[in-house]
């Protein structure tokens, strides 16, 4: 997941917002705040 977060910083804002929503779902599922 850390690699994905680093990759997020290089993305376009639209793609990034979409990925962040997916990551939020993963973090919630894993119990990470």
pLDDT tens digit sequence for 1-33: 678 777 777 778 888 788 889 889 988 998 876
DSSP structure class, residue 3: H
Q: Whole-angstrom Cα distance, residue 23 to residue 27?
A: 6
The whole-angstrom separation of Cα 6 and Cα 29 is 20
**Does the model's pTM come out above 0.95?**
no
Integer CA distances (angstroms), 25 to 1, 22, 29, 31, in order: 12, 5, 6, 10
Residue 22 φ/ψ, nearest 5 degrees:
-65, -45
pLDDT at 33: 64
pLDDT at position 1: 65
Domains of the chain: which residue ranges?
Answer: 1-26
């Amino acid at each position: 997941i850390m690699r994905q977060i680093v990759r997020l910083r290089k993305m376009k804002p639209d793609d990034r917002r979409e990925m962040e929503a997916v990551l939020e779902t993963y973090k919630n599922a894993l119990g990470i705040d």
